[in-house]
């Protein structure tokens, strides 16, 4: 059974810092991995999708990497802003998606 | 605009009552999913459907039922058999194991 772990569970940083969120999974037989953002009481917004054949994807200040063989993905956020404060979830898709519990990020002005 | 619409946003259920959550998509996606989210936790899969008139149980299907009579609609019924239904429910759709899109969720509370 696929298990997805996100570390850390919570992270607080001052504005302007670069930061890395981690996601690990136990079964490398996946179609893709997707990073989402969730604001309190809201649905999930897709940030980046990495197909199993890809190593990384970039969108603006966000960069996600995938190392399928080691079962790891990272989400790098450059020059963090208070508006980045949210919970970040990764989901591993092997026919159906398995989600981590998320990392709650707080960026202090 | 294309997207997924969940309704209602808030729903209150009395003990012993069945309630139905709506999920509609106009993205022409074949696959649709229902997830449950409890505070501080990730999403757990309740039911999913890869095609019209077909659906499968997810990890926590007990106490829930679904139907998929139309491609754009995937309603979820929370039955009286679900003993702890208070949670945030999210619907998603995708096409061919690509990017998944989510609705804004329904918060269900037992009163």
**Structure confidence by residue, pLDDT tens digits, A16-65:** 999 999 999 999 999 999 999 999 989 999 999 999 999 999 999 999 99
Judge: A43–B103 Cβ closer than 8 Å, yes or no. yes
In this structure, how many other beta carbons lie within 10 angstroms of the beta carbon of residue B25?
22
Cα B15 → chain centroid: 20
β A19-25/A72-77 pair status: antiparallel
Helix spans in chain B (H): none
Q: Do B29 and B94 meet the contact criterion of CB atoms below 8 Å apart?
A: yes
In angstroms, what separates the C-alpha of B69 from chain A's closest C-alpha?
21
Condensed to tens digits (0 to 9), the pLDDT of residues B15-42 reads 889 999 999 999 999 999 999 999 888 8
Give the residue on A whose Cα is nearest the Cα of B5: A43
Is residue B97 pLDDT above 90, yes or no? no
* Residues of chain A contacting residue B23, judged by C-beta atoms under 8 Å apart: none
């Amino acid at each position: 059974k696929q298990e997805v772990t996100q570390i850390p569970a919570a992270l607080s940083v001052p504005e302007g810092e670069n930061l890395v969120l981690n996601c690990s999974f136990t079964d490398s037989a996946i179609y893709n991995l997707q990073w989402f953002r969730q604001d309190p009481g809201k649905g999930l917004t897709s940030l980046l999708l990495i197909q199993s054949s890809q190593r990384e994807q970039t969108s603006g200040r966000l960069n996600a990497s995938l190392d399928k063989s080691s079962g790891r993905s990272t989400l790098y956020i450059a020059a963090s802003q208070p508006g980045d404060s949210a919970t970040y979830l990764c989901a591993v898709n092997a026919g159906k998606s398995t989600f981590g519990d998320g990392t709650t990020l707080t960026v202090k002005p | 605009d294309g997207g997924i619409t969940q309704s209602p946003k808030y729903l209150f259920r009395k003990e012993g009552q069945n309630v139905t959550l709506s999920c509609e998509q106009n993205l022409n996606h074949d696959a649709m999913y229902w997830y449950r989210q409890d505070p501080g936790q990730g999403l757990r899969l309740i039911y999913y459907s890869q095609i019209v008139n077909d659906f499968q149980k997810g990890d926590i299907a007990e106490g829930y039922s679904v139907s998929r009579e139309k491609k754009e609609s995937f309603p979820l019924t929370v039955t009286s058999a679900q003993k702890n239904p208070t949670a945030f429910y999210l619907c998603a759709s995708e096409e061919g194991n690509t990017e998944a899109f989510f609705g804004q969720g329904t918060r269900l509370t037992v009163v």
